[in-house]
Structure 1
Amino acid sequence: MRNLYVVTHPEADHHVRKLVGGWYDSALTDRGIVAAQRIAADLGERIPRRETALLFSSDLRRTRQTADPIGQRLGLSVHQDRNLREQTYGIADGTPAGSTPYLPPPPHGDRMHHWDGNAGSEMRFQLAGRAYTALHRMLAAGAQDTVAVTHGGTATYLVAAWIGLPLEAAGYVKFQISPGSITHLREDDVFHDRQVVSLNDTAHL
């Protein structure tokens, strides 16, 4: 069996201050730091064969603060990957939510290439493309157990890539992913079927 654990960072400063996250480099709150320790403890129970495991993380501060206790618990180095970052909302990053204009994607048509109107923001196609690239790189490393510490929006596309949803067809996909959650994905070594064992698990919190 091959397992991938997709971890989303827990409560961060921008959550509390009601700021747009994106690439705004916010830190975990005190509550988030406690949650990160609980995530690490949970993964310590799930991953007994640590010598065959790998740990990847977005390079933003809130995800690095989540990945560090996991690395300490499992005895693993953290491999930072910018492709695991959240979607950037350009000039809206770090601003009060709702304070900049926002154009939502259309109900029909090319939702993947929709632009929200904020200078420097990514289209969904760009975010999803980064997530798909990150997944392929992680799987190519060949670990039996892999942990990916990322953000809620990016997690959706990691799951989509895992189940083989074509990038161009991902315009409507959206999974409910909470801060501090663990999503367990598994591939069996006989048929190579890919399972979603658990989605958005927060019982450890």
Structure 2
Amino acid sequence: MTAGQLVVWRHGNTDWNREGRVQGGTDVPLNDLGRAQAAATARALAALAPTAIVSSDLRRAADTAAALAAQTGLPVRTDARLRERFFGQWQGRLMADVRREHAAAHARWTAGDPDPGCDIEPVDALAARGVAGLRAAHDPAGTTVVVSHGGTARYAVAGLLGWTAQARATLAGLDNCAWAVLAPRGAGWQLRAYNLTAPLDAAATGDLAGEPAESR
């Protein structure tokens, strides 16, 4: 790995992911599948010889980071700037109910409105704190693994790359326990890989369902 690379890693699966429930800033733990994902991915990421691990302080991210710490012996530093986007009135609600009860705001959010209402954190604020978290985590001499969330990872990665809102809209969210790799390039950054995953055994993958990353 090139010195100064950032590995941005989304947390493992939770029961709320499985149920289609909006997590946002709610502190929800990993489920059995999420712990299996974290363990498998930690083995893959340990091979990259990381020099630092920085995580959101929410349990689903911190416990994902702990799996890598167990593999590498590195400490985990937490940073609240890496938390998931705050989803206001939607937090704790099933997305199907949100779609029905907040139809107008949901349509704005789906269309990419940066400030759709319902007390949801505006995208500009989310991106700014996410980018600040990535910059603070960055070790220019090594490889830093940053553990975050679907929405925050998406907007922080796009923000660090300097993408416009139009370009950012083309970037999908990371799957549970998937990761992206960014490397310094001159005064900016380059996206080297995105949405990489480690294989799980059949027993673990039997519970895995595709879930939208943002809000989770």
Please name the residue that 1:182 is paired with. Answer: 179
Any conservation in 2 of the 1:54–1:143 contact (CA below 8 Å)?
Answer: no
Any conservation in 2 of the 1:57–1:81 contact (CA below 8 Å)?
Answer: yes
Please name the residue that 1:128 is paired with. Answer: 127
Please name the residue that 1:202 is paired with. Answer: 197
Instruction: Provide the aligned length of Structure 1 versus Structure 2.
Output: 191
User: In the TM superposition, what is the alpha-carbon distance from 1:107 to its structure 2 partner?
Assistant: 9.5
Question: In proportion to residue count, which structure has more helix?
Answer: 2
User: In the TM superposition, what is the alpha-carbon distance from 1:195 to its structure 2 partner?
Assistant: 2.4
Matched to 1:182, the amino acid is W
User: In the TM superposition, what is the alpha-carbon distance from 1:142 to its structure 2 partner?
Assistant: 3.6
Task: Provide the alpha-carbon RMSD of the alignment.
Answer: 2.3
Please name the residue that 1:43 is paired with. Answer: 45
Tell me the SS of whatever aligns to 2:9: strand
Please name the residue that 1:115 is paired with. Answer: 116
Please name the residue that 2:78 is paired with. Answer: 80
Going from structure 1 to structure 2, the CA distance change for 1:20 and 1:164 (only over 3 Å counts) comes to same
Matched to 1:54, the amino acid is A
Consecutive unaligned residues in structure 2, runs of 5 or more? 201-216
Any conservation in 2 of the 1:84–1:131 contact (CA below 8 Å)?
Answer: yes
Matched to 1:99, the amino acid is D
What is the TM-score of this pair, normalised by structure 1?
0.83
User: In the TM superposition, what is the alpha-carbon distance from 1:193 to its structure 2 partner?
Assistant: 5.8
Any conservation in 1 of the 2:128–2:156 contact (CA below 8 Å)?
Answer: no
Tell me the SS of whatever aligns to 1:105: helix
Going from structure 1 to structure 2, the CA distance change for 1:181 and 1:41 (only over 3 Å counts) comes to same
Cα offsets for 1:131-184 (capped at 9, x unmatched)? 111122123x5441100001111111222133233xxx4366142221110111
Any conservation in 1 of the 2:40–2:198 contact (CA below 8 Å)?
Answer: no
Matched to 2:108, the amino acid is P
Deviates more, 1:93-102 or 1:76-85: 93-102
Matched to 2:149, the amino acid is H
Any conservation in 2 of the 1:12–1:29 contact (CA below 8 Å)?
Answer: yes
Q: Distance in 1 between matches of 2:64 and 2:94?
A: 24
Q: Distance in 2 between matches of 1:194 and 1:187?
A: 4
Consecutive unaligned residues in structure 1, runs of 5 or more? none
Percent identity (aligned)? 29
Going from structure 1 to structure 2, the CA distance change for 1:170 and 1:137 (only over 3 Å counts) comes to farther
Please name the residue that 2:160 is paired with. Answer: 162
User: In the TM superposition, what is the alpha-carbon distance from 1:192 to its structure 2 partner?
Assistant: 5.5
Going from structure 1 to structure 2, the CA distance change for 1:161 and 1:143 (only over 3 Å counts) comes to farther
Going from structure 1 to structure 2, the CA distance change for 1:17 and 1:185 (only over 3 Å counts) comes to same
Any conservation in 1 of the 2:182–2:189 contact (CA below 8 Å)?
Answer: yes
Deviates more, 1:96-105 or 1:77-86: 96-105
Tell me the SS of whatever aligns to 2:52: strand
